[in-house]
Amino acid sequence: MNNLYRIAIIGGGKVGSALAQRVIEKNLAQVVLLDVVPGMPQGIALDMNQAGGLEGYERQVLGTNDYADTANSEIVIITAGLPRKPGMSRNDLLKINGEIVTQAAQQAIAQSPNAILILVTNPLDVMTYLAWQATQIPTQRIMGMAGVLDSARFQYFIAQELGVSIRDVSALVLGGHGDLMVPLPRYSTVGGIPITELMEPEVIDRLVERTRNGGAEIVNLMRTGGASLAPASAICTMVASILDNQKRQVAAAVYLEGQYGLSDIFVGVPCRLGQQGVEKILELDLTPEELAQLHRSAASVRENIQIASQK
Ligand code: TXD
């Protein structure tokens, strides 16, 4: 693998900084960490670079407030955004983060016109659509991270419930990254055996519900801020698959043009990730109920795109 790859992370908050750490610890790429807060990404970078000798990594993080430093990145990951503050409605947040993400995507792509863009900021599927509209980059080169994380959460809950090694569990979650996401028990397995053959339906329903509320459960426990470690691992999995051309088959928010009866929308479905970005979208033979759930989730994404796009 060419170790001189360069990735840019826009937004050096909890997820952005955790991702920077994952990427350099795996020696995957040089990292440029950009944030609007002066000094903050520079401080994080210095702190992480000083651990290089102890952890044994040679890649470094460059902290910056200037997009020029992100030039010629192979991948740009956008985690920039504001959390919801008291008195701010969901719709207000939608518009504010929409503006942040739109500007971040435009400025980053201006510096790295051939980059692959991975969106992370919530509401994820909506932000991915807005970033695509703002940059007009080919749809193969833009995607949102949610399915890998949601599937990892489902995977963990299944392993815990059955008391089996998490390594033998493979789980699949489709749809938008919200409480209408669509965990798919039929396609979730332990050592190749679908969990529908290993657990009672009520137990599966409980795990599905917990997966849907996976992010909120952590926010409720932590009270300030939310998940960052598993999200960073999920993004890092996508980054590694792209840089290393691994062709991992994962769920990600990708642009649909008729698949699953959906068009002109980004929503989570299984796809293969390699050097070209989204190299293949897989269309599963869903049951009418599963398909209806996916359409419900997509309808809510579409509604939010409209709200975010209103001036
Ligand atoms: O599955 C998923 N997609 C997610 C998404 C999993 C976890 C977190 N998810 C979302 O990612 C979350 O709801 C947020 O929208 C983002 C980032 O989460 P994080 O926990 O890292 O938020 P922070 O710590 O508030 O960091 C956001 C940073 C912060 O440092 C701001 O100063 C910065 O974004 N920020 C900006 N950077 C650059 N440019 C602009 N305009 C900007 N505005 C804010």
User: Hey, where are the domains in the chain?
Assistant: 6-144, 147-309
Which among 141, 177, 212, 272 is annotated as catalytic?
A: 177
Ligand 1 pocket (Cβ < 6 Å) reads 10-16, 35-37, 79-83, 100, 104, 120-122, 124, 145-146, 149, 177, 225-228, 231
177 catalytic per annotation:
yes
Cα–Cα–Cα angle for 309, 120, 190, rounded to 5 degrees = 125
- What is the full per-residue pLDDT of the chain (311 aa) written as tens digits? 455 899 999 999 999 999 999 999 999 999 999 999 999 999 999 999 999 999 999 999 999 999 999 999 999 999 999 987 777 777 888 999 999 999 999 999 999 999 999 999 999 999 999 999 999 999 999 999 999 999 999 999 999 999 999 999 999 999 999 989 999 999 999 999 999 999 999 999 999 999 999 999 999 999 888 999 999 999 999 999 999 999 999 999 999 999 999 999 999 999 999 999 999 999 999 999 999 999 999 999 999 999 998 87
The pLDDT assigned to 3 comes to: 54
* Residues 262 and 253: beta-carbon distance below 8 Å: no
CA dihedral sign, ordered 217, 182, 97, 115 = positive
Distance, CA 37 to ligand 1 centroid (Å)? 12
Domain 6-144 and domain 147-309, same fold? Reply is: no
Burial of 162 (0-12, 13-18, 19+ CB in 10 A): middle
Structure tokens at 204: 């599966």
CATH architecture entry for 147-309:
Alpha-Beta Complex (3.90)
Which is the CATH superfamily of the domain at 6-144? NAD(P)-binding Rossmann-like Domain (3.40.50.720)
Quick one: which of 306, 295, 303 has its CA closest to 133? 306
Distance, CA 120 to ligand 1 centroid (Å)? 8
pTM for this one?
0.97
The pLDDT assigned to 88 comes to: 76
The pLDDT assigned to 2 comes to: 52
Quick one: which of 301, 254, 56 has its CA closest to 141? 254
* Residues 120 and 135: beta-carbon distance below 8 Å: no
